[in-house]
Amino acid sequence: MGTIDVALAHATRLMQSDPELAAEQASEVLKVAPGHPVATLLLGYARRVTGKTDAALQILEPLTRAQPNWATAHYELGLVLSRLERREEAIAALRRAVTLKPDMPDAWRALGDQLTISGDRVGADACYAQHIKASTRDPRLLQAAAALCDNNIPVAESLLRAHLKNYPTDVAAIRMFAEVAARLGRFRDAENLLKRCLELAPSFHAARHNYALVLSRQNKAGEALREIDRLFAAEPNNPGHRNLKAAVLAKIGELEESVEIYADLLANHPEQPKIWMSYGHALKTAGREAQSIAAYKKSIELLPSLGEAYWSLANLKTMRFTDDDLSAMRGQLARTDLSPEDRFHFDFAAGKALEDEGRFEASFQHYLQGNALRRAGIEYDAERNTAQLESHKALLIPEFFAARQGYGTPAPDPIFIVGLPRSGSTLLEQILSSHSAVEGTMELPDITAMAATLGQEGVRAGTAPYPQLLANLTAADCQALGERYLAQTRIQRRTGRPFFIDKMPNNFAHIGLIHLILPNAKIIDARRHPLGCCFSCFKQHFARGQHFTYNLEDLGRYYRDYVGLLAHFDRVLPGRVHRVLYESMIEDTEAQVRSLLEYCGLPFEPGTLRFYENERAVRTASSQQVRKPIFREGVEHWRHYELWLDPLKSALGTALETYPAAPSA
């Protein structure tokens, strides 16, 4: 018996590498021990995987009659019958397997596959649900799950890719693979994976929740809300679904409903520090500053190590920390077990607290540490950014635009405000949205997402990367893209005003695309002194994006590239972009506002000078500042830090020397 056990163990190992040899080994065992059940099963298994399906059937049918209560034998028989397209018999065998052993994930998945093919979607959904439940103990997925928990994405991706090659309908693995894609920022891939997951298992609520989240991250708020409503119908009291809905609503400016959901959620689940923080974000955006401060402080009370809550208080810009607050932050920073994310949030917050006290050197050290830690966790290539913008200049010349006169949709609705963050763009948005014909929205990601999608499609098709592929767009393409932009952004418009603002600063890199698809849109360049603008970015932690802001050399290089590209468009499309200097707006507000409105084709309205009375939601770091009259104090504030800004000055080069004029080409 010992020799047989050794031989069977050897045959089992061989199944992974050489099933033909495994079959020989099992046959040898059966010569010594005729009818041995494990050897018979291995032989049938080997025949199946080597494509000898009829032979496998002749082995497995007698085995299941002899061993009627052996789930694995019925499972193997079900797979063989499936391959022979004897669907009803296969379903019966697989049902027998899961009845005998309900924790067999592969059997549930195979049964779901057969029911799907036979048209029983409800039955298949139920089987996939059982598969998901059983998969929590599947050792093949536990290793991938552990890698995900450790954020070891390459290992998780490799394990899941290999698993799905063999088991393409494993919905639990598909969901995990979508998580890998999302963490890599491949949201389109994650969306497609989750869509497939839900086609197979519509009641897989965890996957639907992930699907809604991925849709939201791609600015598909309407689609995300439809998925969330389906989740609500199935699980009306699930706090995770309600939290996600509140976040999506806040993102599209439905703040009252968002605040209401958060308040109700916290009334029932008050011990949730991160939900208190999200509640604070919504309250801040709605202009309810005192309540937002209380929410952030409640978050800190529940989780003192949550650095983002301290940074959220600092990011109000109008609140001063106490000595006790600063002491608490220092205490957290002294810990050795603080996560990098909490640590850099504490550094940014402590930098702001010390800045308010006039302790600028100590403040700068915290900003430096926070930025260095943040920069270490992101990928940004300044050389690549420069090369990308230079390729725009090479392509987008007067002859290029002359040949495409009349392209795009003629709608004049959008007003784009471009430039760098912290350049006074929120002030311009607040002024313009105080006009009766203009609606303020937010920093809309639609143009940058469109450019990224065009680039990906060009690479896949092997035609041209972005921006070179703009040369391949037809008049019909440009009109369709313009109409797509207007359709996608419609969810942000609620007042019926004829014009709306898109304040995404990074859109300066896509002026060529904007001009092609929306030739009548207005484009405003919000520009600020390079040291004032760049240092203001350096002391700001951005929730996402703006990866160039965490290093002084990167910042200077980015600013220099930005003004260089805008100077190019000034030459190529004279008068197309209207420039507003922040310092000029502060110095002579009315003259600048009148000039701005004239460029937009709008009559002057006195309310635009009382922009601070506008109670609309403001979704940027300057949300509290623009609710007050002109903020003059910040214009020269960078001078307190000038001693430590030499790397920034060097990187800026002629962009600093020539300001406010553009550097020479």
pLDDT digits (tens, 9 = 90+) for 127-167: 877 877 777 777 778 888 888 877 889 999 999 999 899 88
User: Is there a single domain that holds both residue 407 and residue 447?
Assistant: yes
User: Is there a single domain that holds both residue 335 and residue 418?
Assistant: no
Is 472 within the bounds of a domain? yes
Predicted pLDDT at 623: 45
3-state secondary structure string across 105-124: HHHHHHHHHHHHHCCCHHHH
**Domain C-terminal end among 377, 400, 419:** 377
Total number of domains in the chain: 3
Structure-token pair, residue 371: 């930025």
- pTM of this prediction? 0.76
Given a cut of 50, is residue 186 above it in pLDDT? yes
Is 469 within the bounds of a domain? yes
Dmax over CA atoms of the chain, in Å, equals 101
Which residues are CB-contacts of 465 (< 8 A; sequence separation ≥ 6)? 455, 458, 459
User: Is there a single domain that holds both residue 422 and residue 507?
Assistant: yes
Task: Report pLDDT digits (tens) over 48-99.
Answer: 888 899 999 999 999 999 999 999 999 999 999 988 989 889 999 999 999 9
Which residues are CB-contacts of 23 (< 8 A; sequence separation ≥ 6)? 42, 43, 46, 47, 50
Using pLDDT thresholds of 50, 70 and 90, give the confidence band for residue 628: low
DSSP 3-state of 394:
helix
Phi, psi of 111 (to 5 degrees): -65, -40
* Rounded Cα gap, residues 349 and 370, in angstroms: 9
Is 59 within the bounds of a domain? yes
Is 611 within the bounds of a domain? yes
Task: Report pLDDT digits (tens) over 216-252.
Answer: 988 888 899 999 999 988 888 778 888 899 999 988 8
**60-78 core/surface letters (b: 16 or more CB in 10 A; e: else):** bbebbeeeeebbbbbbbbb
Predicted pLDDT at 59: 93
User: Is there a single domain that holds both residue 446 and residue 570?
Assistant: yes
User: Is there a single domain that holds both residue 423 and residue 342?
Assistant: no
Is 256 within the bounds of a domain? no
Q: What is the CATH classification number for the domain harbouring 518?
A: 3.40.50.300
Is 91 within the bounds of a domain? yes
**Domain C-terminal end among 106, 135, 164:** 135
Structure-token pair, residue 485: 């932009």
**Domain C-terminal end among 377, 399, 419:** 377
Give the pLDDT mean for 636-643. 94
Phi, psi of 11 (to 5 degrees): -65, -40
User: Is there a single domain that holds both residue 459 and residue 367?
Assistant: no
Q: What is the CATH classification number for the domain harbouring 75?
A: 1.25.40.10
Sign of CA dihedral 597, 602, 607, 613: negative
Give the pLDDT mean for 513-525. 98
Predicted pLDDT at 632: 62
User: Is there a single domain that holds both residue 367 and residue 482?
Assistant: no
Task: Report pLDDT digits (tens) over 546-579.
Answer: 999 999 999 999 999 999 999 999 999 999 999 9
Predicted pLDDT at 372: 97
DSSP-derived secondary structure for 289-318: HHHHHHHHHHHHHH-TT-HHHHHHHHTTSS
User: Is there a single domain that holds both residue 582 and residue 446?
Assistant: yes
* Rounded Cα gap, residues 400 and 471, in angstroms: 8
For 23, the domain range is 2-135
* Rounded Cα gap, residues 224 and 140, in angstroms: 31
Is 431 within the bounds of a domain? yes
DSSP-derived secondary structure for 148-179: HHTT-HHHHHHHHHHHHHH-TT-HHHHHHHHH
pLDDT: which is higher, 136 or 423? 423
Give the pLDDT mean for 423-436. 94
* Rounded Cα gap, residues 304 and 342, in angstroms: 10
Residue located via tokens 């703006």: 546
Using pLDDT thresholds of 50, 70 and 90, give the confidence band for residue 618: low
CB 505 within 8 A of CB 421: yes
Given a cut of 50, is residue 619 above it in pLDDT? no
DSSP-derived secondary structure for 461-484: HTS--TTGGGGG--HHHHHHHHHH
User: Is there a single domain that holds both residue 422 and residue 520?
Assistant: yes
User: Is there a single domain that holds both residue 419 and residue 506?
Assistant: yes
Is 613 within the bounds of a domain? yes
User: Is there a single domain that holds both residue 364 and residue 435?
Assistant: no
User: Is there a single domain that holds both residue 461 and residue 609?
Assistant: yes
